[in-house]
Chains A and B, each alone.
Chain A
Amino acid sequence: MLKKLALTLALLSAPLAAFAEGEVNVYSSRQEQLIKPILDKFTAASGIKVNLVSGKDDALIERLKLEGENSPADILITADAGRLSRAKDLGLSQTVESEILKTSIPENLRDPENQWFGLTYRARPIFYVKEKIKPEDLSTYADLADPKWKGKICVRSSDNIYNQSILASMIASQGAEAATKWAEGLVQNFARPPEGGDRDQLKAAAAGLCDLAISNTYYYGQMLAGEAAEDKAAAEKVAIFWPDQGDQGRGTHINVSGATVTKAAKNKENAVKLLEYLVGDEAQAWYAEHNQEYPVKTTVPASSLLKGWGDFKADSINLSELGKHNAEAVKIMDTVGWK
């Protein structure tokens, strides 16, 4: 019994260590294994210790909100822009004036008022089965709602933020009515009711269940570069098509993983140092190599695998629009029966 008590006390006192002077406290929806190594590098380079809690974006934002001005968090990292602008709307973030951040990150990948900053970006293009579909037959996202694709498209559930964001970008550029029509047509063309994640859509396409799939690029990259032979074989059966290209096109939908300095930050100075480190050459290259994402810093090259997919024109909409239209996107999805 005494032992148990001692253990309990030890456990309870553990978190108090996280309040030391000068340390940066991070709430991250980017999972531990994909962020810890780079934080450790930062600590090694700067001598500033970083403490981490990882979790789901929405829940972390909720925690931040409830903790209010006493929140220990200095930085919030999320895996999509919609959440960052939600944090901003809730008054949880603050403006950061940093020349390094401004010059390293293109304008559309950061908040207009410099409250949040993209750290890496990923595209959500169309994937097609090489044996069955000629890329000439593909053109735009809008075209996916055309009846000619009936029963041919695999997409995951609308619970997923990436789908909510792509529809939000549609609402932002073409209005709610057009977006509803598009979602309606797309649902008609589903090969099956949505199930599984992005990788599952690619695998299903490779296995012959559908001809087209929508997925984030890094999932495809990880399947190609990973160790599992069957994943690799499946990924090799499909190829990327970059939709909405050309002078008239609005570009392929992209999203960022990014970060914001919280309003409650106790160590703003060191927090900004960490952000600046994350857009530095070393960190950017590490992300590109390890998670198959595109670096936001244009002078840092993408991984050789990503370069092999060719250049594309990305949607230049400011990503803060995604957060604004998220609730409307979910309502549209409910209405058209996108499960």
Chain B
Amino acid sequence: MEIKNFVWRALLLCMALLTALPILAVFAYVFVPSAEVWEHLAATVLSDYLLNTLYLSLGVGIGVLLLGVPLAWLCSMCEFPGRAWFEWLLLLPLAMPAYIIAYTYTGMLDFAGPVQTSLRELTGWGYGDYWFPNIRSLTGAILMLALVLFPYVYLLARAAFLEQSICVLEVSRTLGCNQWQSFFRVALPLARPAIITGLSLALMETLADFGTVQYFGVTTFTTGIFRTWYGLGDHAAASQLAALLMSFVFILLLLEQASRRRARYYHSSSKYAQIKRIPLKAWQAWWAVFFCSLTLLLGFIVPVTQLTSWSIANWRTQIDSSFLTLIQHSLGLAMAAAVFALILALILGYGKRLSPSPLVSLAARLASMGYAIPGTVIAIGVLIPFAWLDTQLNYLSQSLFNSKLGLLFSGSLFILLFAYNVRFLAVSLQTVEAGLGKIKPTLDNAGRSLGLSPSAVLWKLHMPLMKGSLLTAILLVFVDVLKELPATLILRPFNFNTLAVRTYELASDERLAEAGLPALMIVATGIIPVILLSRSISRSRAGGSL
């Protein structure tokens, strides 16, 4: 039995190391001296990078909590008109890439856009005569990111609320808590790991975001890395900036882990019953409806309307024979990457459960850091080892068989799928770990004492029990890959385009309106898994209608 555990552990460490390879490749530059460029950065722009990144993370963090947690509570524990609809509609912003929502709001609210232009026409004001919030600003970037990232918190918090044993809440009520007290004193603390997981996903996305901040001209660490790498041409200093960013993330992850070390969050009772939702009174109900619709409107309906109107104006130039291929490529890549990420996450998550040790959890943390790292950095980090490997292989085959193999790894879709895994493993791993965390360890013991091997415990007991979490993991990665841009752009093979690439190319050429249709297609394709996701979570409600 010990040997089997050991095999799992070795497998886990290998997997983690492989995934961490690109990150380590970037870290390797840390020891290359680049004092002169650092002096220049420190004297000019470094404080901007630091402060803007800090404000951005703080702002987005507060924003996603203020939106995600109350919405999750309202939709899972309260009853008000339209609740059943909002429950899944509120997930839709997840399908909206941050850079695309930024394009749409800029198109609308810019000085030369329709809103300000008609305001000037109505009032006769000119530039400087009136105050109008500038969307291309730090605040604008915070708003855009919070509007599309809050569903992470909403999703995980709602799942946590729904899965909570009714007994705990009943007990809290019999002990004299009123409905709101039982929320703040019982349900919320119990859901904390899920909420923090959602928050850390949102924050990592924020740190890795390049498209939005660059479009808005907000200088953050991410834009700084690019500028140093390409503009100043100093790879060492750029990698050192990236390494600094990664260190922040690493500390963040360790803190998150430490915060829940002391407590365990298993369901201690298996008595589940349909939770009676709190019916909201008239004015409360209207506030709930207003809050839900406003979020939905700003995070989804308004940008989609803008995209649709752009698409209608330009569909003729965009729909051609290659458009269908774009959709196929996007879907195929996203599906393949999601399945790979799930398999890897199961191995890592379960291996960690089998033999918890500081080394193992460090390896798992390291492997999931990729989520906070800009796609371009990952792409380069992936290219470095695999291009090296390809060179060696070609060298070998040249000397042995006098023929070249070509770029087996770095020239094929393999490297792209690998990069997606490095980038998005955190998503599937955290979801799988959260799923496993809710299964009592006594179940493992029971399974093992009845003669099941560790893999059989995973296959026969855990996987059926956490079907919901597995599906969530697949769908989240699917949507993320669908939206992913920088790594796809750099690593894809010849004659292979995706919807995100098409959108970016048009938008970067400042043809926003023409980018509307491919952007709309990304959103539309992303909606399907999001709806599936929502339905599976509703069904997972403990004691819910079977």
Contacts and interface: CB of A to CB of B under 8 A. Distances in A.
B127 A207 contact: yes
Contact of A334 (B44, B226, B332): B44
B335 A70 contact: no
How many residues of A sit at the interface, in one of the four size bands? 35 or more
A339 B137 CA distance: 13
B494 A55 contact: no
B117 interface: yes
Contacts of B117: 207, 230
- Grouping DSSP codes into helix (H, G, I), strand (E, B) and loop, the B interface class, with mixed when no group exceeds half, is helix
A72 B406 contact: yes
A58 interface: yes
A11 B379 CA distance: 19
A196 B136 contact: yes
B186 to A, nearest CB: 41
Contact of B493 (A4, A15, A195): A15
Contacts of B134: 195
B177 interface: no
Interface in B488-508: 489-497, 501-502, 505-506, 508
Contacts of A34: 509
Contacts of B491: 63
Most buried by B among A7, A55, A157, A164: A55
Contact of A15 (B232, B404, B412): B412
A67 B217 contact: no
B345 to A, nearest CB: 17
A327 B233 contact: yes
Given A18-B495, A33-B505, A203-B112, A70 B336 contact: no
Given A59-B379, A327-B231, A68 B391 contact: yes
A135 B508 CA distance: 31
Interface in B190-214: 214
B111 A204 contact: yes
B403 to A, nearest CB: 12
Interface in A1-52: 4, 7-8, 10-12, 14-16, 18-19, 25, 31-34, 51-52
A219 B413 contact: no
Given A193-B217, A228-B313, A334-B45, A51 B490 contact: no
Contacts of A58: 229-230
A4 B335 contact: yes
A59 B112 CA distance: 32
A330 B223 CA distance: 13
B410 interface: yes
A67 B347 CA distance: 32
Contacts of A326: 231, 233
A281 interface: no
B543 interface: no
A209 interface: yes
Interface in A195-244: 195-200, 203-204, 206-209, 219, 222, 227-228, 230, 234
A142 to B, nearest CB: 23
Nearest to B508: A31
Contact of A54 (B110, B120, B233, B501): B501
A310 to B, nearest CB: 24
A53 interface: yes
Most buried by A among B112, B120, B391, B497: B112
A208 B127 contact: yes
Interface string B63-91: 00000000000000000000000000000
A12 B335 contact: no
A71 B383 CA distance: 12
A56 B486 CA distance: 9
Nearest to B214: A159
A53 B415 CA distance: 15
Contacts of A32: 497, 501-502, 505
Contacts of B497: 32, 54
A97 interface: no
Nearest to B116: A207
B336 A56 contact: no
Given A72-B406, A209-B111, A334-B44, A15 B496 contact: yes
A46 to B, nearest CB: 18
Interface string A159-199: 10000100000000000000000000000000001111111
A335 interface: yes
A199 B510 contact: yes
A7 B332 contact: yes
B227 interface: yes
Interface string B380-394: 100110010011001
Interface string A231-273: 0001000000000000000000000000000000000000000
B127 A8 contact: no
B41 to A, nearest CB: 8
Contacts of B505: 31-33, 54
A102 interface: no
A68 B386 CA distance: 12
B336 A4 contact: yes
B216 interface: yes
B147 to A, nearest CB: 20
12 contacts: A4-B336, A10-B332, A11-B336, A18-B495, A53-B493, A59-B379, A70-B404, A70-B406, A72-B411, A195-B134, A207-B116, A227-B313
Top-9 shortest CB links A-B = A15-B493, A203-B112, A31-B505, A51-B494, A330-B231, A66-B387, A18-B494, A334-B44, A58-B230
Given A67-B387, A330-B232, 4 more contacts: A18-B495, A62-B380, A63-B491, A227-B313
